[in-house]
Amino acid sequence: MTDNVVLLTETYIQEEGYVVSDMNGDKVMMSIQSGKYYNLGKTGGRIWELLSEGNTIPNLVHTLTTEFAVSTDQCEKHVQTFMQHLYKEGLIKIQES
């Protein structure tokens, strides 16, 4: 992994140290260490839930396309961008095997 680029072949999992709350369907979280707040929204919150025990981008896309009215191509593009943001911010990490 270089330059904070997420790969389709890796399994990602939530990083520890975040308090997550549901606010009318949107997930918001705070870093215990830095005090930074993040609003994940509904779809981002669902992705966060799916990362609780580790997941790959293809599996996330498959799940989301069954739950939301979105094309596979569009979903993959948005999930990859969102995951890159989470990875860059240190909210997720590669799951060790």
39 beta partners:
28
DSSP H or E segment with residue 22: strand 18-23
CA atoms within 13 A on the CB side of 37: 5
Q: Is residue 5 assigned to a domain?
A: no
In this structure, the chain runs to a length of 97
Q: Is residue 1 assigned to a domain?
A: no
Confidence check: pLDDT of 37 > 50:
yes
**Do the Cβ atoms of 13 and 92 come closer than 8 Å?**
yes
Confidence check: pLDDT of 1 > 60:
no
The whole-model pTM stands at 0.90
Q: Is residue 45 assigned to a domain?
A: yes
Render pLDDT for 83-95 as a digit per residue (tens, 0 to 9): 999 999 999 999 9
Q: Is residue 35 assigned to a domain?
A: yes
Q: Is residue 96 assigned to a domain?
A: no
Number of domains in the chain: 1
- Domain carrying residue 19: 12-91
Instruction: Supply the angle between the helices 72-88 and 57-67 in degrees, to the nearest 10.
Output: 130
Render pLDDT for 69-86 as a digit per residue (tens, 0 to 9): 999 999 999 999 999 999
Q: Is residue 80 assigned to a domain?
A: yes
Q: Is residue 42 assigned to a domain?
A: yes
